[in-house]
A and B are shown apart, each in its own frame.
Chain A
């Protein structure tokens, strides 16, 4: 765009600058993320599908109930039957990797913003930016910095999916009953003890809700990330669009939906479990 305020050019220059001057660091990050994703995906594919279905069903039965256990069996049957098992596992691996990274960064960030007004004052607008910037836009710099493949896919997903867990961790910590916090301080907690013995346990339901939201957003983003070659179910969705193939689109889309429902109910159940105990 040719305007008097060339923000786009600046963004371009920043990315180019990073590319020219610091490719070593990005290489290292890329390698790390890449190997994590590979590890998860290979792990998932190593397990025979029937064993994974069994484990999933058992988990569903234990956490949610027998109806949902049955649903898991049926859903897995549909995915295997339509031939999308491997693609689904690749997508799941992307989701798990992106979620793990989001949590490793997001939970501490959430705690920090809960404790420091200064941190909150610059983290919050950044989160707004991350969440509302159209998801595709991240793919461009990600692909430029990390090349095509799983790595830019996972990292773009991390940026898109991290905000909920940051926000809900921060909210959870701030909403812990003030007298419980006072009790912690009164009985001689150090700041560290206060965090781990009072605040994080008290914030856990909220943190779990954040994790659930992060997983759901990660799932929607890894589909989009197939545009930079992240693979998995997104590839099939993309192909179906390119070929106007309704059948392929429906089948691959259905696999995404089923995976989403299973992930949502399972992770949600952990948050509710905490609340019930509380």
Chain B
């Protein structure tokens, strides 16, 4: 996958003599020590990461962890002290003022926590702001602004002023303003943090929908674990100006790098972030390949199930795609009726479950169904089985871990 933005050894020191502070950092001194001795603040320390094209990369941390500083280093709202920021291979840190302005107009947009709309402009003019600044003619920029306002569901509010809109709507305008310039890279700084939980979820969904239609690379700063897990393809966790862990949500969940990361999950219902494929076990249930096992006949299948003390088995095809579930009873019935293939013995009411199904949904499914459920990937290939026992065992484990 192509890397859209790469940060290498990015540092930001606030103070009069950043070189001295850098030297102290190199010698392994802690930022608190540096502050006590020199009064200089280490905002970001040695941030190194790569974000793939089309990815939503969440930077998460508590307030004061440097996440807002880090995102501002990427478009040089804050000048980095040292380090590289490569966007499509070009080092942003070394661009001249004019080149930087050109890059911001063309390919980078930002959404702000306080929305940062211009109160004296209408919603339409706000949405068109980036284009206006770039010198796009009135007709063309208003056409484009209306288009993006339509995408965020605010077309009818084009003539209003921002102050006449609710917070959620204002941030839709903020989003529209960013989308209007059609950037390949979007920076979102706590974009939904100022909204109430309901509106926040709504905006997250809107963002994911937009992302489905048009893949953009998004760097999203958040302090909200829920949000990070919902929208993030990968998450970087920051503490005290340093990135302490980068990984996919479930990786971080399963292997927290240190106590700080673990502390994030305290009091958080981890089950909510697990999916069916996280708990499914591949060897729990007998899996039979449909055409190949036909000759072996029902007797052998029934025999193998009885041997394993199981009532149910899964049937897959040659490519390991799940065809369905059979039971001893259904096979016996088939035998009695003179039918001979496994496909004919499939139980109609058992549907395979996609691997990315959330635990909460999975639980309600399992409670209704006494039999094991096959878990499948996007191509219906068999990933494993979930039974009531597996689920209970898993929940018991989670409880023990906390």
Contact = CB atoms under 8 A, between A and B. Distances in A.
Nearest to B163: A278
13 contacts: A182-B110, A183-B116, A183-B117, A183-B177, A185-B104, A186-B104, A187-B104, A188-B102, A190-B101, A198-B118, A277-B119, A277-B120, A277-B161
Interface of B: 72, 75, 77, 101-102, 104-106, 108-110, 112-120, 129-130, 132-134, 161, 163, 177, 181, 187
A187 B177 contact: yes
Nearest to A274: B120
A185 B72 CA distance: 11
Among A183, A202, A274, residue most surrounded by chain B Cβ atoms (within 10 Å): A183
A186, A198, A201, A204: most-surrounded residue (chain B CB, <10 A):
A186
Given A190-B101, A197-B133, A278-B163, A185 B116 contact: no
A274 B110 CA distance: 27
B129 A187 contact: yes
Contacts of B117: 180, 183
Given A182-B110, A201-B120, 12 more contacts: A180-B118, A182-B77, A182-B112, A183-B112, A183-B117, A183-B177, A193-B133, A197-B133, A201-B119, A202-B118, A277-B120, A278-B119
The 9 closest A-B pairs by CB, nearest first: A188-B105, A179-B116, A187-B130, A278-B119, A183-B116, A188-B104, A186-B110, A201-B120, A179-B112
Nearest to A187: B130
A189 B285 CA distance: 63
Contacts of A185: 77, 104
Contact of B110 (A183, A189, A197, A277): A183
A181 to B, nearest CB: 8
A28 to B, nearest CB: 39
A13 interface: no
Interface residues on A, range: 20 to 34
A186 B161 contact: no
A183 B173 CA distance: 13
A183 B112 CA distance: 8
B133 A187 contact: yes
A177 interface: yes
A177 B116 contact: yes
Nearest to A188: B105
A177 to B, nearest CB: 7
Contacts of B72: 182
Contact of B105 (A179, A187, A278): A187
Contacts of B75: 186
Nearest to B98: A190
Contacts of B163: 277-278
A187 B113 CA distance: 16
A186 B187 CA distance: 10
Contacts of A183: 110, 112, 116-118, 129, 177
B114 A179 contact: yes
A180 B112 CA distance: 9
Contact of B116 (A182, A190, A197): A182
